[in-house]
Chains A and B, each alone.
Chain A
Amino acid sequence: MKSEYNSIGKNIQRRDIVEKLTGQANFCADIALKDALSLKVLRSSRHHAVIDKIDVSDALKIPGVVNVFTAADIPGKNLMGIINKDQPLLAHDKVRSLADPVALVAAQTDEIARQAIKVINVTYTDLEPIFDIEAALAPGAPKIHKKGNTLFTRRIKKGDAGTAFETCHTIIEKKYMTHAVEHNYIEPDAGAGYVDEDGTLVIYASTQNPHYDHKEVQGFLGLKDDQVRIIQAATGGGFGSKLDLNVQGFIGLALYHLKQPVRYVYTREESYLATAKRHPFTIHMKTGADKNGKLKAIHIRAYCNTGAYGSYGIAVASRSAVHGTGPYEIDHVDIECACIYTNQPFCGAMRGFGAPQMAFAHESQMDLLAKKLGMDPMEIRMLNGFKKGSINGTGQQLIDSVGYPECLEKIMPYYEEALTNWVTEKTTPFTKRGIGIGGMWYGIGNTGVQNPSTARIELDQNGRVILYTGCADIGQGSSTILTQVAGEVLGIAPEAIQLVVGDTKFTTNAGATSASRQTYISGNAVKDAAEQLARVLLTEGANKLKVSKTALSFGDHSLQIAGHPERSVAFDWLAKRIHEKGVSLSWQGYFDPETIPLDLETGQGSPYATYAFACHLALVEVDVLTGQVSVKKIVAAHDVGRAIHPENVIGQICGGVAMGVGFALMEAFEFGKTLSMKDYHIPTCADMPEVIPIIVESVEPTGPFGAKGVGEPALIPTAPAILNAVSHALGKRLYSLPADLESVLQASIDSGHFGPEEKM
């Protein structure tokens, strides 16, 4: 069947692919600036302490040390944070974790900078440190921030859960725990910068949000808008952690004082210590159903440990609370998720913003309920899953593009086949096979807040189209997709569009590359800009060709009378004519998804304009003698609205599954113990199962050509599916992530290796 589109749905060549394949792509550490100084931060040696004195005199005596900066050298506001500003660039009165930066050295070489930080003398008065949630919430606990240790609580209240539980036939109540996780992008954080001839501080950043970086650096330094320029360099992955300012602020501060090129490349060890982690969660979840398995009520009390600073913690608490019900309709909802400060290094955004942690809990509950009710795990999900017209926990009705039932249907044949043939196949006596299902929903964009994107499209006098976008492509492929959207509107090949990406001198704010929002939100902003330019072209085309605008269609850099390609007028001619008439050839696009803020007490509102849905099936083998879990296959069905670039969608799904395998089975960041890559294991190719990606296109009417998003959804159902499969294999459930060798072996022992009964 011929597609109705020219660009949408085509696996066109990735924009930056040749540079990346030939080693020419410039990541921050590759940028050569003449005579660039090396920067290095001294971090706190205390978990929680008042800083009495910082003595840098010995460091300054080392030949090759150019200067050492402390909080006193910051001319503007020494606080950062995209949601709440609580994190100093350099600690001033106290330190709240071992990651806190205390002083910044600029030196001629990395080695000299390293020596210099060793001889900076900081005098501290220790305060009592707090590491876990219980201690942070205990009465009389020392306050980590002036406002207290609870940063934020999101409440979602609908109906009357208390009363509803009394009428439930079956109730499951469990506690779930998840661990801190490191993003572990392969490019350690880095940046570089110089001061240009106009005195502008130019900073190359490995970032997910160049326009936010710009605002923060300006704020630290008390500079005007045009005195700071952020350029996103090639960025080697982010997964949420490059939403925070990692080195950009330090580079800005050094440039401000030294007016000399500088660079800062984190070692892997510093990247581990100093950047955000995924929030560890404790989740108490109680779910009730009637005798037919229809969900009636849910009660959740969840706590996430954000460490010393908020970063994206508020968004994590908020999103995880909204997503606590899972993709299921439940009339009575009582959810609270609190984000708590402790003296661990800070946690922030990581692919899924708390939804992966919550999904582990709600999907375990679904299987437990099914088992107790004598139902099949697919059946209970089919019965309760969101469909068109369902109302979620925030009271929002889901009207269009609700592809959860279709995802389940796509999984069904694989599920039945695995259940009847694969699980029952004879294996070695010590291998147990199991299969598991994980479902999820995911709101596209930020939770209940306005989060617009902008873009600009320009036609030059030669008829070339140039797209300006502040949207950071961090490897997921947004640049390619945005040109497909613009190309579709203007009838030109996406490859012919020139691109300017993530350079605050030329681009306008597209918001963060996070929350799986760029395809939907920036895609719409680009579409808006392209449509405005198209309107102007159509007007002038109609003037020239003397037909109505509706009779015109776009051809290759031209407008033509539909069906008569010989009667056409080229873009360059139109550009000159439009310009002569004093009409702009440069158009700004804008899109802000329709949301209604959540009520602070009840959490009622419309947090997102649209949702993605997915279901994964996991096939696992457990070695009952070693606790080794081997994931054999993941079937992953994803409702993405419309796949603008199907191979990119598949890439996101496969990459998400890999991260999900890590989250499920091996990744645990231990503060103070995980120091280098030797101590932290992410999946290698040998750990990966076969992945069967299935794209479900439940078209979203408000999306650009129907698209929603897939970046985070890709990861969310994997761990729940694997954990449900392990539990199926062993007849024993694990309530804590990761399900590492030790805990699986313990479960295997507890179940008597082959115990047929699940002990609830």
Chain B
Amino acid sequence: MTFEINGQEHTLDIPADITALEVIRSLLGLTGTKEGCGIGECGACTIVVDGKSVNSCLMLGAQLDGTKVLTVEGLATEASLAPLQEQFMKNHGVQCGFCTPGILMSTHALLEENPDPDTEEISKALAGNLCRCTGYQQIFASVKAAATASRDDRITGGKNG
């Protein structure tokens, strides 16, 4: 099977019964994606496949064939954090950090599709991501700040262009 992950193409032979999560963590060694429950309840394993956020523990490895995958390792560049990560840093959206990769993936997919979500829409995007530490408030603040920052960028961009 062949697929692209964080901009890199991989061709792998995988056992039929392993999950996408196992492919990513065990075969590719990308351990940023976490396992919290293995049954689709916690969202720690969330990745973005062809623009949509999915629980990789519920997805078969074979289903990755032909897809474009983004994991938490693919967000930042060598030089800098992605704007979404920046905002989680500034708005204290991380405590223990175990839920963080999944939450970043869910909200990244949201913002790609809807750059200006309201509280309700953020809530919907995060419904499957559990966080036991933060009570979510600073996570919401982080996502909203990321949306605002990108809107300001667009406005400035518009003016200049």
Which residues on A are within 8 Å of B, measured CB to CB?
11, 13-14, 16-27, 29-30, 32, 183-188, 234-237, 239, 267-268, 474-477, 647-648, 650-651, 653-659, 676-678, 682-686, 688, 690-691
Contact check: which of B30, B35, B39, B136 meets A688 at CB < 8 Å?
Answer: B136
Is the pair A24, B32 in contact by a Cβ cutoff of 8 Å?
Answer: yes
Shortest distance between the CB of B47 and any CB in chain A (Å): 11
User: Is B64 part of the contact surface with A, judged by Cβ < 8 Å?
Assistant: no
Is the pair B136, A23 in contact by a Cβ cutoff of 8 Å?
Answer: no
Is the pair A651, B34 in contact by a Cβ cutoff of 8 Å?
Answer: no
Contacts A18-B81, A654-B138, A688-B136; A676 near B39 (Cβ below 8 A): yes
In Å, the complex CA distance between A431 and B98 comes to 38
Closest 8 CB pairs of A and B: A23-B32, A475-B96, A236-B98, A20-B97, A654-B135, A658-B135, A30-B31, A677-B41
Is the pair B135, A186 in contact by a Cβ cutoff of 8 Å?
Answer: no
In Å, the complex CA distance between A688 and B139 comes to 12
Select from chain A the residue with minimum beta-carbon distance to B94: A20
User: Is B89 part of the contact surface with A, judged by Cβ < 8 Å?
Assistant: yes
Q: Which residues of A contact B98 (CB under 8 A)?
A: 27, 185-187, 236-237, 475
1/0 per residue, CB under 8 A from A, across B117-161: the answer is: 000001100110111111111111000000000000000000000
Is the pair A186, B92 in contact by a Cβ cutoff of 8 Å?
Answer: no
User: Is B109 part of the contact surface with A, judged by Cβ < 8 Å?
Assistant: no
User: Is B51 part of the contact surface with A, judged by Cβ < 8 Å?
Assistant: no
User: Is B75 part of the contact surface with A, judged by Cβ < 8 Å?
Assistant: yes
Is the pair A655, B95 in contact by a Cβ cutoff of 8 Å?
Answer: yes
User: Is B50 part of the contact surface with A, judged by Cβ < 8 Å?
Assistant: no
Is the pair A21, B89 in contact by a Cβ cutoff of 8 Å?
Answer: yes
User: Is B53 part of the contact surface with A, judged by Cβ < 8 Å?
Assistant: no
Is the pair A21, B94 in contact by a Cβ cutoff of 8 Å?
Answer: yes
Contacts A236-B96, A685-B140; A659 near B32 (Cβ below 8 A): no
Is the pair B76, A691 in contact by a Cβ cutoff of 8 Å?
Answer: no
Q: Which residues of A contact B34 (CB under 8 A)?
A: 27, 29, 186-187, 236
Q: Please, how many residues of chain B have a CB less than 8 angstroms from a CB on the other chain?
A: 49
Q: Which residues of B contact A18 (CB under 8 A)?
A: 81, 89
Shortest distance between the CB of A759 and any CB in chain B (Å): 34
Is the pair A686, B95 in contact by a Cβ cutoff of 8 Å?
Answer: no
1/0 per residue, CB under 8 A from A, across B81-96: the answer is: 1000100110010111
Contacts A20-B100, A684-B130; A657 near B95 (Cβ below 8 A): no
Within 8 A of A (CB), among B15-31: 29-31
A-B pairs under 8 A by CB, number: 165
In Å, the complex CA distance between A195 and B131 comes to 35
Q: Which residues of A contact B56 (CB under 8 A)?
A: none
Q: Which residues of B contact A686 (CB under 8 A)?
A: 123, 127
**26 A-B residue pairings within 8 Å (CB atoms):** A17-B89, A21-B76, A21-B89, A22-B81, A23-B31, A23-B33, A26-B31, A27-B98, A30-B31, A184-B132, A186-B98, A186-B99, A186-B131, A236-B34, A268-B38, A475-B98, A475-B133, A651-B135, A654-B138, A658-B132, A658-B135, A678-B39, A684-B126, A684-B130, A688-B135, A690-B137
Is the pair B137, A186 in contact by a Cβ cutoff of 8 Å?
Answer: no
Is the pair B36, A655 in contact by a Cβ cutoff of 8 Å?
Answer: no
Which residues on B are within 8 Å of A, measured CB to CB?
29-39, 41-42, 44, 71-73, 75-76, 81, 85, 88-89, 92, 94-101, 104, 122-123, 126-127, 129-140
Contact check: which of B32, B96, B122 meets A185 at CB < 8 Å?
Answer: B96
Q: Which residues of B contact A477 (CB under 8 A)?
A: 95
Contact check: which of A19, A235, A682, A683 meets B96 at CB < 8 Å?
Answer: A235
Q: Which residues of A contact B85 (CB under 8 A)?
A: 21-22
Contact check: which of B32, B38, B135, B136 meets A656 at CB < 8 Å?
Answer: B135
Contacts A21-B88, A685-B136; A676 near B33 (Cβ below 8 A): no
Shortest distance between the CB of A703 and any CB in chain B (Å): 22
Q: Which residues of B contact A659 (CB under 8 A)?
A: 132, 135
Is the pair A654, B100 in contact by a Cβ cutoff of 8 Å?
Answer: no
- Besides A21-B72, A23-B73, 9 more A-B contacts (Cβ < 8 Å) are A18-B81, A21-B85, A21-B100, A21-B104, A22-B75, A27-B98, A183-B132, A186-B131, A677-B39
Is the pair A684, B132 in contact by a Cβ cutoff of 8 Å?
Answer: no
Shortest distance between the CB of A206 and any CB in chain B (Å): 10
Contact check: which of B42, B132, B135 meets A239 at CB < 8 Å?
Answer: B132
Contacts A474-B96, A475-B96; A678 near B101 (Cβ below 8 A): no
Is the pair A658, B92 in contact by a Cβ cutoff of 8 Å?
Answer: no
Contacts A23-B30, A23-B71; A185 near B132 (Cβ below 8 A): yes
Contacts A651-B95, A691-B135; A267 near B32 (Cβ below 8 A): no
Q: Which residues of A contact B36 (CB under 8 A)?
A: 186-188, 268, 677
Select from chain B the residue with minimum beta-carbon distance to A11: B92
In Å, the complex CA distance between A239 and B132 comes to 9
Q: Which residues of A contact B75 (CB under 8 A)?
A: 21-22
Main secondary structure, interface of B, reads loop
Q: Which residues of A contact B140 (CB under 8 A)?
A: 685
In Å, the complex CA distance between A234 and B95 comes to 11
Q: Which residues of B contact A236 (CB under 8 A)?
A: 34, 96-98
Is the pair B39, A685 in contact by a Cβ cutoff of 8 Å?
Answer: no
Which of B71, B123, B136: most chain A CB closer than 10 A?
B136
Contact check: which of B30, B73, B133, B137 meets A237 at CB < 8 Å?
Answer: B133
In Å, the complex CA distance between A268 and B99 comes to 15
Select from chain B the residue with minimum beta-carbon distance to A185: B132
Q: Which residues of A contact B31 (CB under 8 A)?
A: 23, 26, 29-30, 32
In Å, the complex CA distance between A185 and B37 comes to 11
Contacts A13-B89, A27-B34, A678-B39; A187 near B137 (Cβ below 8 A): no
Is the pair B138, A651 in contact by a Cβ cutoff of 8 Å?
Answer: yes
Q: Which residues of B contact A676 (CB under 8 A)?
A: 37, 39, 41
Is the pair A682, B81 in contact by a Cβ cutoff of 8 Å?
Answer: no
In Å, the complex CA distance between A529 and B54 comes to 49
In Å, the complex CA distance between A653 and B100 comes to 19
In Å, the complex CA distance between A646 and B143 comes to 20
Contact check: which of B37, B44, B92 meets A648 at CB < 8 Å?
Answer: B92
Q: Which residues of A contact B94 (CB under 8 A)?
A: 14, 17, 20-21
In Å, the complex CA distance between A248 and B154 comes to 51
In Å, the complex CA distance between A659 and B136 comes to 11
Is the pair A658, B136 in contact by a Cβ cutoff of 8 Å?
Answer: yes
Is the pair A23, B135 in contact by a Cβ cutoff of 8 Å?
Answer: no
In Å, the complex CA distance between A18 and B39 comes to 28
In Å, the complex CA distance between A308 and B32 comes to 37
Is the pair A21, B81 in contact by a Cβ cutoff of 8 Å?
Answer: yes
Shortest distance between the CB of B69 and any CB in chain A (Å): 13
In Å, the complex CA distance between A29 and B127 comes to 25
Select from chain A the residue with minimum beta-carbon distance to B134: A655
In Å, the complex CA distance between A648 and B31 comes to 27
Is the pair B92, A14 in contact by a Cβ cutoff of 8 Å?
Answer: yes
Is the pair B132, A186 in contact by a Cβ cutoff of 8 Å?
Answer: yes
Is the pair A186, B39 in contact by a Cβ cutoff of 8 Å?
Answer: no
Contact check: which of B92, B126, B130 meets A682 at CB < 8 Å?
Answer: B130
In Å, the complex CA distance between A474 and B94 comes to 12
Which of A17, A23, A184: most chain B CB closer than 10 A?
A23
Contacts A22-B75, A654-B138; A237 near B92 (Cβ below 8 A): no
Which of A18, A30, A474: most chain B CB closer than 10 A?
A30
